Amino acid sequence: MLLHFLIASVGTLLARRYALQRDLLDHPGERRSHQVVTPRGGGIAIVAALLVAIVALATRDPSQRWLLGGFGIGLVLVAAIGMADDHRPLPASLRLAVHALAAAVLAISLQMASGNHWLAMLAFVSAIILTNVWNFMDGINGLAASQALLVAMALAWVLGGSWALLAGALAAACAGFLPFNFPRARIFLGDGGSGGIGFSIAGLGTVAVMHDSRAALWLLLPLSAFLVDAGLTLSMRTLEGERWWEAHTRHAYQVWARSKGHMSVTLLYASWTATTVAVMIVLRTTPVSLAVALCVVTYLAASVVWWRLERMESHLKTTGDK
């Protein structure tokens, strides 16, 4: 864990130097939540730490070599297209096509390892969804990396063997990156980092389901904050005829940050997710019916919070217009 923490820390420093030299900078604007010019692309250090872990674990555990290899290839594809987009904006269709290819590689690897078609389909769908969800939700200081750290800790608890170690490596790498991104952001994750994190969580989560089908329900709890915010905001923008793939500041966390500030909102989201992780750890051996009930209650509560924040934003706009 210390090794991957250090890889991410040193890698983030190098990525920041590179971003400043290459003018890879995010400028403040109407579609951004930050107020100062900030370099991007630091999340590639987290990806690098994960790739080191994948190679080490594949060497140590030959029985998992093919599945780890498929995971690693998919991660490289997602991170590469994200880094290319960090350098020069690419069409959304091209990025999505590469995400689908990476998801297909992961799905094929899981199909070969488990022989389960449904699990392969889950891997494909979840990889595309979470890759983009983490990208959408990477908009304020520390949010995406802190949520990934907490979810990775939950995954490490659920998983076993090499995969628990890989989840721990993800958590350690996120911890190594966070001091550069929170409470004050000296560098952002960038599309390569945020996409790579989302893909990794999808892969680890699907492997957890392969080992224990009940994990699919319990892991929905720590993902609730991001899935509700991203899902409902995307649905709202689509219904209103907006281009959902374009940058914007309409997520609940962005609305909240305008009144509470980045640090408070990141800590509030972290408190929510840490609570769900604790509930998952304490109750995961209980009947599945309880997991279903808890998921329903959690997602309804999160949806109510999202709705209230959306109403608050609408009220502020109406007051401002008057």
21, 41 Cβ separation under 8 angstroms? no
67, 208 Cβ separation under 8 angstroms? no
Residue 267: which residues within 8 A CB-CB, separation 6 or more? none
pLDDT over 70 (residue 322): no
276, 222 Cβ separation under 8 angstroms? yes
Tens digit of pLDDT for each residue in 75-84?
Answer: 999 999 999 9
pLDDT for the residue numbered 27: 78
**The two three-digit tokens of residue 105, written as one number:** 């590689």
CA 234 – CA 19 distance, rounded (Å): 30
Tens digit of pLDDT for each residue in 268-315?
Answer: 999 999 999 999 988 888 888 888 999 999 999 999 999 988 887 665
Tens digit of pLDDT for each residue in 158-189?
Answer: 998 999 999 999 999 999 999 999 999 999 99
53, 165 Cβ separation under 8 angstroms? yes
In the chain, which ranges are E strands? Answer: 25-26, 38-39
CA 240 – CA 45 distance, rounded (Å): 37
Of 3-7, 35-39, 146-150, 279-283, least confident by mean pLDDT is: 35-39
pLDDT mean over 193-222: 93
**The two three-digit tokens of residue 174, written as one number:** 């996120």
User: How high is the mean pLDDT of the chain?
Assistant: 91
Which secondary-structure segment (H or E) carries 114?
helix 92-114
Question: Which is more confidently placed, 72 or 313?
Answer: 72
CA 24 – CA 38 distance, rounded (Å): 9
CA 39 – CA 19 distance, rounded (Å): 6
pLDDT mean over 140-146: 95
pLDDT for the residue numbered 313: 66
pLDDT mean over 95-99: 96
